[in-house]
Amino acid sequence: MGATTWRRINAERDHRWAQPRLSAYIEGDLPDRQERRLGAHEELCPECAQLIRTLQALITALPALRLPPEASFAIAERTAEQVRARIEEWD
């Protein structure tokens, strides 16, 4: 198995690992080690980078709507799901 193949497998594993942690990552709620791991993955993965940008924009915009925190969180989660679904369609 070449180094490139190994890196690819690693990236795919990290990608799956990253999905449920993206919201916490954006809000700075991840433990240091996980945050570093996700940051490294973000640099390598255009899909996650895009999802993170979308979520960040959303989280920046949400306070203006003056929703309760639970509602904001639910909206962010739902949007993440939709972006993820769209990303899967591109494959």
User: What is the three-class DSSP state of 22?
Assistant: helix
Q: What are phi and psi of 31, to 5 degrees?
A: -60, 150
Q: Which of 48, 52, 80, 83 binds Zn ion (CB under 5 A)?
A: 48
CA torsion sign for 78, 54, 73, 60 is negative
From 1-9, 23-31, 40-48, 54-62, give the range in contact with Zn ion by CB under 5 A: 40-48
Q: Does 84 bind Zn ion (CB under 5 A)?
A: no
From 25-33, 46-54, 57-65, 67-75, give the range in contact with Zn ion by CB under 5 A: 46-54
Measured CA to CA in angstroms, residue 22 lies from 4, 5, 28 at distances of 26, 25, 10
From 12-20, 31-39, 54-62, 66-74, give the range in contact with Zn ion by CB under 5 A: 12-20
Q: Does 45 bind Zn ion (CB under 5 A)?
A: yes
- Chain residues binding Zn ion by CB under 5 A are 15, 45, 47-48
